[in-house]
Amino acid sequence: AGCGGDGGSGGSAGDGKITMGFSQVGAESGWRTANTKSVQTAAEAAGVTLKFSDAQQKQENQIKAIRSYIQQKVDVIAFSPVVESGWDTVLKEAKNAAIPVILTDRAVDSKDTSLYKTFLGSDFVEEGRKAGKWLTEEFKDTKDPVNIVELQGTTGSAPANDRKAGFAEAIGTDPKFKVIASQTGDFTRAKGKEVMEAFLKANPDIDVLYAHNDDMGLGAIEAIEGAGKVPGKDIKIITIDAVKDGMQALADGKISYIVECSPLLGPQLMDLAAKAVKGESIPARVVTEETTFTQEQAKEALPSRQY
């Protein structure tokens, strides 16, 4: 890097190093843990000074964290918005302070897209479509109704809204697919188990569980086994993420199919942040590369999974 010079706003020590303020959703799932590790490791590797906060899945904590990063005059702010709405005010404050903002993982529904430089993360509608497509394939020869229960992610979050929409679009092609119950499990195992217990009590003949993440699916497996049913056999289970514990359950035949959602956003985030701080143009949308796994593919992939 060149001589000291002005390394951007007050956040950097003038040595070209940048300071990033990162507001993380929380620590609600295996995915989130892997995502946090990816961001922290990538910051270290990129020589980015990282100020990191965990919002315990509360929007007001994220807003507080972003305000404190503005006060500290960091060079760049990155965050994963726990829900889609309610960000315009604080994002306008960051814009007025001339601090670039990068959305990672989840999106916001702000109409004013000048409030952030880019959104780096998965296409959650496509993830829902992939889950639905597998189901229509799996049950293509079935004539009877296919009763589906759905464990939604955090209410109001982009992944919950979009995974629900994508799945509904894919199964909407055939009226035999019936979503007989759909409720949030807040992306956690505990809540997933609790809600699945209620689903099982109210619905004797569930054929399929569609869970918006592995963790809720793993909690639901405990409920299914507690009810004396066999997960993967009596009730087919489709989840999204492909974290290690989910992949193990897939390899063990308890989960039937997993749509991957990669949490490894750290390196791309640091590249985008460095460019944003320098005022270089960056794409408004960077979509994560990710795939899907059957039970056989999980057995092959497990040994080399990073998370």
Where does this chain bind ligand GZL (CB under 6 A)? 28-29, 31-32, 105-106, 121-122, 159, 187, 213, 215, 240-241, 261
Please name the residue ranges forming H helices in 189-294.
189-202, 214-226, 244-251, 266-277
CA distance linking residue 264 with residue 256, whole number of Å: 24
Comparison of 19 and 262: residue with beta carbon closer to ligand GZL:
262
Of 258 and 261, which CB lies nearer to ligand GZL in the complex structure? 261
Q: Which residue is nearest to ligand GZL (CB)?
A: 31
Torsion region of 282: left, alpha or beta (phi above 0 gives left; psi -120 to 50 gives alpha):
beta
Q: In whole angstroms, how close is the CB of 235 to ligand GZL at the nearest point? A: 21
Q: How far is the CB of 164 from ligand GZL (least distance, A)?
A: 13
Give the residue with the Cβ less far from ligand GZL, 38 or 122: 122
Based on CB atoms, which residue is closest to ligand GZL, 146 or 212? Answer: 212
Q: Find out whether 55 and 23 touch, Cβ atoms under 8 Å.
A: yes
Compute φ and ψ for 241, nearest 5 degrees: 135, -65
| Nearest to ligand GZL of 105, 150 (CB atom) | 105
Q: Quote the least distance from Cβ 26 to ligand GZL, whole Å.
A: 8
**CA separation for the pair 63, 225 (Å, rounded):** 40
As measured in angstroms, the least distance from the Cβ of 214 to ligand GZL is 7
Closest CB 213 distance from ligand GZL, rounded Å: 4
- What angle is formed at CA 8 by the lines to CA 25 and CA 280, rounded to 5 degrees? 80
The distance in angstroms from the start CA to the end CA of the chain is 34
Contact 146, 140 (CB under 8 A): no
Least distance between ligand GZL and beta carbon 96 (Å): 28
Q: Which is nearer to ligand GZL, 28 or 84 (CB)?
A: 28
Q: In what order do the strands lie in the sheet with 208-211?
A: 177-184, 146-152, 208-211, 236-241, 257-260, 292-293
HSE-CB at 46 with a 13 A cutoff on CA atoms is 23
